[in-house]
Structure formats: C-alpha cells, structure tokens
Structure 1
C-alpha cells in the first residue's frame, strides 16, 4: 500500500478537528492537528542603523529576539512574524490584517494514495488551505 502525505493550514484547531472523523472514515494511516506558535519577542526598544551597527539578525531588528543560535535565527527570520517578505499576506491571513484570523493550525495527514483525492476534497470543503 503506497501512502501520500498532505499538509494543510486552518484558521483554528476546532475547524480542523471537525473534519478528522471524515478523514478517519477514509481510513487514513495518521492524522494530527497542531497549533503553530507565534514567535514571541520583547519588541524593538532601541533605534539603530543596521547598516553601521552590529546586530544578531532580522529577528532582533523586528522582534527584539536575542541569544539565538544560527539555525534558530534563520528559521525565526523566515517566519511571517519577523518578516512580511516570507509569504504574501493573502496566504497567511484569511481576512483582517490584525491577525485575528491567521492560518496557524497545521493538519498533517498520511493517507493511502487511492483515497488521496477524496482526502483533498474533504480538507478543502472543511476550510483547509493546501
């Protein structure tokens, strides 16, 4: 049995959980729903010119995050929380820019390839964004 995986974003865990029974009826091998946490920082409290000053990275300039390793710093800088350049707003927010309806719930599904198209339809009908 060959399997395929699906990653989909939802505005809330509740909305994603509503379609889990439908996916389980398709006999998915695995399904999980996880909340993607925002990257919290202290905020920027000082003015500096990044062209002449030394600073640890983009997440320091935008979020005030300090003390990160190189890997964490790269991932933090790639987040929409640190840089709006990492994804168009229409792909991150479904409506209000304030972030109240942010797509921050990830559904991961492993399904038999014979049921793959049906699973995609269930996710789309349930409000998921592939």
Structure 2
C-alpha cells in the first residue's frame, strides 16, 4: 500500500489540534502538530538592561527574534508583525501551525478535503 504525506497549515494551534483529532478519528495513525516560526529561536541572553545590552533590531524587541546581523535585523523588522505597517486589512496572523499526516494514497483526496473544510491551507 502506497502512502502520501500531507502538510496542512493553520492560524491557530486549536484549529490544528481539532484537525489532527479528526484525522485520527478517520483512521489516520501518523499525525503530528508542530508550531514553527519564520524567525530563528531566541538567543540565550538577558535583556533586562537595554543600555548595557542594546537590542539589535525592532524585530528582536517586538517579536523576540534572534537576529544574527544588522542586515537580518532590518529585513526582519520590515515584517508587519514587527513594524505594524500593514495594508489595513486587519491584524496580520501567520499560518505558523503545521499538521503533518501520512495517509494511504487511496484516501489522499478525502483527507485533503477534510483538512480544507477545517480551515487548512495545503
């Protein structure tokens, strides 16, 4: 029996967990929920004193992103989550929760449709 992987992106962890539970209810055994970020993890340092330990960028201060260089700081700070500069269409929310599932190839379209009906972007 051939198997295929599905990657489904969600805005909230709650949506993703509901979708994962629904996949399991439909007999899918290999399901995993993960959160990820477009920015690297935070650097292990104490930022209690911004004078002694100046911030490298706006993104480090606002989004707690680890910034590796001044250029990376400028690029990360341009993200709407840091700068606040958006198109006026409401709050920027990332699809940063991923549901990964391995399904039988014969049930692939059925499971994709199920995930899309629950708000996933495939």
Structure 1 unmatched runs, 5+: 46-55, 65-79, 82-88, 90-94
1:63 is displaced (CA, Å) by: 3.9
Residue aligning to 2:100 = 108
Shift of 1:31: 0.6
User: Deviation at 1:37?
Assistant: 2.8
How many residues align? The count is 93
- Residue 123 of structure 1 corresponds to 115
Aligned partners of 2:57 and 2:70 also within 8 Å: no
Q: Please, what is the CA RMSD of the aligned residues?
A: 3.2
Which digits, 9 at most, give the CA deviation of each residue in 1:52-99, with x for residues without a partner? xxxx574143348xxxxxxxxxxxxxxx95xxxxxxx9xxxxx63x43
Look up the match of 1:59.
72
Cα deviation 1:92-129 (Å, max 9, x = unaligned):
xxx63x43x22110111100111111110110000000
Secondary structure of 1:109's counterpart equals strand
Task: Give the gaps of 5 or more residues in structure 2.
Answer: 44-54, 59-68, 80-85
Counterpart in the other structure of 1:84 = none
- TM-score, length of structure 2 as denominator length: 0.61
CA distance in 1, matches of 2:70, 2:107: 44
TM-score of the two chains, using structure 1 as the length reference: 0.57
- Equivalence map 1:1-130=2 (5 Å): 1-39=1-39, 42-44=55-57, 58-63=71-76, 96=90, 98-99=91-92, 101-130=93-122
